[in-house]
């Protein structure tokens, strides 16, 4: 039964009921022909049909899926309930299901000649059924049999690059669709993606069908045979909902192992040479220490949301190194640093001010560069961006790192195809990685998001897998210096494992000998040069940045020793001897005498005064202050007795606790003005 015939034969009252169900927000149409026309467009639209389908109960959906699996989308009630989907429907649900589906226009009820209910036949109108078939999986195959060459059951097939084999497929329409899937859609070309094309490709695919092919849909079943014979892929409704991926739709699917080989091969060739390259090395770790020094000397004010005010952020940016690449990191370097310091618990927010933890700061500065990078890497590897990244990302990141380490050190890789290869490898190993089980566990744990205080987007679109991985690579791995990125016309086009990344992941010895020379050269004019790709280069940059001003951040780093920079180093914890010892440790030449003399002179006489905020409680008598001190001690509030009649309470939390003791103080006859 065609949808047009079904609507035209329905009474106007029924059409008005269908209109109210399918288009509840639209005004009622009076003319019957107009009603039928509006409903036809709506009830044959795959997106609208899917939305209404998802709003049905599980038993209602089971009834429709059972009909979709039958010839002509029709069957009697016993036939529907005898299928593997329909057998889930309970006896008491039948009447309610039929009333709802017939009343909503999902199915047409045709009574038998004798009016016996057992002979009633239920039919989904053809266009409505086709729309459902394109978005609802009733495949006998599992999703991995459609995604994976290994799981497809095709014998004697091994993964290979698909581009050349796609060009040998029969039929222009099939070749064009397969190339679109490979080049633009990560190997999965959905029906909705084809119908959304605005350049006429959809029409060309339709016209590419053979005249004798009577099958509905953009992807004829004969295409499945051609793709599977070539060990390239398949056609059908792919359902990845059980893996936490928002995809259940008719699609042309290329086997992901083939995509992995194709993308990996393409990634080794840059379309054009980089016109600029970004090497951060240890600069993020350096800026993190600079931020800690700023917090130590200046309690920065933040908004209620914990964000820095724009003027303060601009002021901080001027003293940081990585901010020279603001365009690469979307102007968010300071915010990334602040978020990282917050997660490492380097400060607390007290009365809208950032108050540094001296204990954690000193502990962090004692760590070696390797220990700092390890802490940052573990933090970033588990990063979910306050719940905006799904649990899939951890597996994608591990694949990214393993694949990157397999290339020859220093090899530039085209970023888009390389990340495409990572996603393809991930999709082909969903079962092996236990993604289905992890997704189910998260769905079963109804309160896991509340306990962690985040809204976890456990189900995401396919496009978001790639987007979030790309963001993490640039704004985490490249920012901390483990990956270098190459630019073309201001946009990132390539990446490689940096020299620091090679050391960190064990591809180079971390403790290299100094047979190649040490990295720093100290000149008599107080300029210090640090040469690239030398042993301990990143360690030298980390140490020098604490007591020398960075002048240039090209491959050769240039520093200047000044009176103020040396005093800054002393304030950061260096003694004069430690400062000179650090320079000698990384220098390839003897320190000029004038430089050593000046550094000793500049380091002398530096004294550190600590400014603290406190609340003073001053009483008229010693006895009153004794009672006050006793109350504070009972409540566990630290205090300092400045003199017989004055008590100091330091720290915003302690001050607040003291202010909240009004009733308790009143009981002891104490009143605070």
Q: Is 647 helix (H, G, I), strand (E, B) or coil?
A: strand
- Maximum CA extent, the chain: 114
Could you tell me if 43 and 122 lie in one domain?
Answer: yes
Domain boundary among 77, 103, 133: 133
Q: DSSP letter at 432?
A: T
235 domain-assigned:
yes
In angstroms, rounded to a whole number, what is the distance separating the alpha carbons of residues 159 and 176?
21
pLDDT value of position 201: 55
**Closest to 632 in 3D by CA, of 599, 580, 672:** 672
In angstroms, rounded to a whole number, what is the distance separating the alpha carbons of residues 504 and 284?
15
Q: What is the pLDDT of residues 517-552, one digit of tens each?
A: 788 999 999 999 999 878 888 889 999 988 999 988
**Closest to 629 in 3D by CA, of 612, 610, 613, 648:** 648
Higher-scoring residue by pLDDT: 374, 156: 374
Which residues lie closer than 8 Å to 100 by C-beta, 6 or more apart? 56, 60
Whichever domain contains 621, its CATH number is 3.30.70
Distances (CA, A) of 519 to 123, 439, 530, 550, 554: 79, 49, 5, 15, 15
508 domain-assigned:
no
Q: DSSP letter at 269?
A: S
- pTM, to two decimals: 0.77
Could you tell me if 474 and 596 lie in one domain?
Answer: no
Examine the pLDDT at 312 and tell me if it is beyond 80: yes
Could you tell me if 67 and 178 lie in one domain?
Answer: no
Higher-scoring residue by pLDDT: 653, 227: 227
Whichever domain contains 38, its CATH number is 1.10.10
In angstroms, rounded to a whole number, what is the distance separating the alpha carbons of residues 14 and 129?
19
In angstroms, rounded to a whole number, what is the distance separating the alpha carbons of residues 8 and 32?
8
Could you tell me if 43 and 82 lie in one domain?
Answer: yes
Helices 310-317/333-343 angle, 10° precision: 100
pLDDT value of position 198: 45
In angstroms, rounded to a whole number, what is the distance separating the alpha carbons of residues 550 and 527?
10
Could you tell me if 541 and 568 lie in one domain?
Answer: yes
State the average pLDDT over residues 466-477. 93
Which residues lie closer than 8 Å to 642 by C-beta, 6 or more apart? 616, 648
Residues in the chain: 673
Q: For the chain, what percent of residues have pLDDT higher than 70?
A: 92
Dihedral angle sign, alpha carbons of residues 642, 647, 648, 654: positive
Task: Retrieve residue 216's tokens.
Answer: 């509905």
Could you tell me if 88 and 159 lie in one domain?
Answer: no
Could you tell me if 442 and 572 lie in one domain?
Answer: no
Q: What is the pLDDT of residues 629-643, one digit of tens each?
A: 888 888 888 888 888
Could you tell me if 347 and 434 lie in one domain?
Answer: yes
Q: What is the pLDDT of residues 385-408, one digit of tens each?
A: 766 788 999 999 999 999 999 999
Number of domains within the chain: 5
Domain boundary among 232, 267, 302: 267
pLDDT value of position 204: 53
Helices 415-428/256-267 angle, 10° precision: 160
Examine the pLDDT at 202 and tell me if it is beyond 60: no
pLDDT value of position 509: 81
Could you tell me if 662 and 639 lie in one domain?
Answer: yes
Which residues lie closer than 8 Å to 514 by C-beta, 6 or more apart? 535, 536
pLDDT value of position 458: 73
pLDDT value of position 422: 96
Q: DSSP letter at 615?
A: E
Could you tell me if 187 and 239 lie in one domain?
Answer: yes
State the average pLDDT over residues 50-67. 87
Examine the pLDDT at 84 and tell me if it is beyond 50: yes
482 domain-assigned:
yes
pLDDT value of position 71: 85
Most confident of 66-70, 374-378, 532-536: 374-378
Q: Are 236 and 251 in contact (CB under 8 A)?
A: yes
The full DSSP string for 31-46 is: SHHHHHHHHHHHHT-H
452 domain-assigned:
no
Task: Retrieve residue 321's tokens.
Answer: 């190194």
Q: What is the pLDDT of residues 318-359, one digit of tens each?
A: 888 888 888 888 777 888 888 898 888 888 887 778 877 878
507 domain-assigned:
no
| Alpha carbon 659 to its chain's center | 43
673 domain-assigned:
no
CA angle 33, 37, 39 (to 5 degrees): 115
**Closest to 396 in 3D by CA, of 369, 422, 432:** 422
Q: What is the pLDDT of residues 433-454, one digit of tens each?
A: 999 998 888 877 755 555 554 4
| Burial of residue 596 (number of CB atoms within 10 Å: 0-12, 13-18, 19+) | middle
Count the helix, strand and coil residues of the chain and give each as a percent rounded to the nearest 5: 50, 15, 35
**Closest to 44 in 3D by CA, of 150, 125, 147, 164:** 125
Could you tell me if 76 and 175 lie in one domain?
Answer: no
415 domain-assigned:
yes
Examine the pLDDT at 178 and tell me if it is beyond 80: yes
Could you tell me if 355 and 464 lie in one domain?
Answer: yes
101 domain-assigned:
yes
Domain that holds residue 396: 277-446+458-500
Task: Retrieve residue 563's tokens.
Answer: 């009176």
pLDDT interval class at 212 (50, 70, 90)? very low
Average pLDDT value for the chain = 85
Domain boundary among 63, 98, 133: 133
Task: Retrieve residue 48's tokens.
Answer: 């609208």
Torsion of CA 596, 602, 604, 608, to 10 degrees: -130
């Amino acid at each position: 039964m065609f949808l047009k015939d079904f609507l035209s034969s329905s009474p106007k009252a029924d059409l008005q009921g269908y209109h109210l169900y399918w288009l509840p927000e639209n005004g009622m149409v009076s003319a019957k022909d107009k009603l039928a026309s509006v409903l036809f467009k709506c009830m044959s639209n795959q997106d609208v049909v899917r939305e209404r389908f998802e709003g049905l109960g599980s038993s209602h959906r089971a009834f429709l899926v059972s009909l979709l699996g039958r010839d002509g989308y029709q069957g009697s009630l016993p036939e529907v309930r005898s299928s593997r989907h329909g057998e889930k429907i309970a006896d008491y649900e039948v009447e309610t299901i039929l009333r709802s589906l017939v009343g909503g226009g999902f199915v047409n009820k045709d009574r038998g000649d004798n009016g016996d209910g057992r002979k009633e036949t239920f039919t989904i109108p053809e266009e409505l059924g086709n729309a459902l078939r394109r978005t609802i999986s009733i495949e006998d195959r599992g999703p991995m049999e459609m995604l994976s060459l290994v799981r497809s059951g095709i014998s004697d097939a091994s993964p290979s690059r698909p581009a050349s084999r796609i060009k040998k497929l029969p039929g222009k329409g099939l070749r064009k669709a397969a190339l679109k899937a490979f080049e633009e859609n990560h190997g999965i070309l959905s029906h909705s993606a084809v119908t959304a094309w605005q350049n006429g490709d959809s029409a060309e695919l339709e016209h590419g069908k053979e005249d004798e092919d009577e099958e509905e849909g953009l992807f004829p079943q004969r295409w499945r045979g051609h793709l599977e014979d070539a060990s390239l892929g398949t056609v059908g409704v792919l359902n990845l909902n059980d893996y936490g991926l928002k995809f259940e739709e008719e699609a042309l699917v290329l086997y992901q192992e083939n995509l992995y080989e194709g993308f990996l091969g393409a990634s080794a060739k840059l379309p054009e040479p980089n016109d600029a390259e970004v090497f951060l090395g240890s600069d993020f770790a350096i800026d993190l220490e600079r931020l800690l020094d700023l917090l130590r000397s200046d309690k920065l004010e933040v908004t209620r949301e914990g964000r820095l005010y724009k003027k303060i952020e601009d002021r901080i940016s001027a003293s940081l190194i990585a901010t020279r690449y603001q365009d690469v990191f979307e102007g968010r370097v300071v915010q990334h640093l602040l978020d990282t310091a917050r997660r490492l618990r380097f400060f607390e927010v007290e009365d809208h001010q950032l108050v540094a933890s001296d204990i954690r700061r000193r502990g962090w500065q004692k760590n070696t560069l390797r220990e700092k990078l390890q802490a940052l890497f573990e933090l970033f590897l588990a990063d979910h961006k306050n719940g905006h990244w799904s649990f899939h990302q951890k597996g994608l990141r591990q694949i990214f790192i393993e694949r990157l380490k397999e290339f020859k050190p220093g090899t530039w890789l085209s970023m888009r195809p390389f990340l495409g290869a990572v996603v393809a490898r991930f999709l082909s190993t969903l079962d092996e990685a236990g993604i289905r089980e992890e997704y189910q566990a998260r769905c079963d744990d109804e309160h896991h998001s509340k306990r962690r205080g985040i809204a976890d987007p456990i189900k995401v679109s396919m496009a978001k897998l790639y987007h979030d991985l790309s963001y993490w690579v640039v704004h985490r791995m490249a920012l901390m210096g483990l990956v270098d990125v190459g630019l073309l016309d201001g946009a990132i086009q390539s990446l490689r494992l940096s020299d620091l990344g090679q050391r960190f992941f064990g591809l180079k010895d971390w403790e290299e000998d100094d047979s190649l020379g040490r990295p720093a050269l100290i000149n008599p004019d107080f300029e210090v040069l640090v040469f690239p790709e030398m042993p301990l280069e990143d360690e030298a940059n980390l140490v020098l940045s604490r007591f020398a001003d960075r002048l240039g951040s090209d491959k050769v780093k240039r520093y200047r020793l000044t009176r103020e920079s040396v005093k800054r180093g002393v304030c950061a914890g260096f003694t004069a001897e430690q400062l000179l010892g650090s320079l000698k440790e990384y220098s390839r030449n003897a320190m000029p005498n004038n430089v050593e003399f000046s550094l000793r002179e500049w380091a002398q006489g530096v004294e550190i005064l600590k400014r603290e905020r406190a609340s003073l409680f001053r009483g008229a008598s010693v006895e009153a202050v004794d009672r006050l001190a006793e109350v504070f001690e009972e409540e566990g509030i630290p205090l300092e007795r400045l003199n017989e009649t004055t008590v100091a309470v330091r720290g915003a939390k302690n001050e607040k606790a003291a202010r909240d003791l009004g009733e308790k103080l009143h009981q002891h006859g104490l009143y605070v003005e």
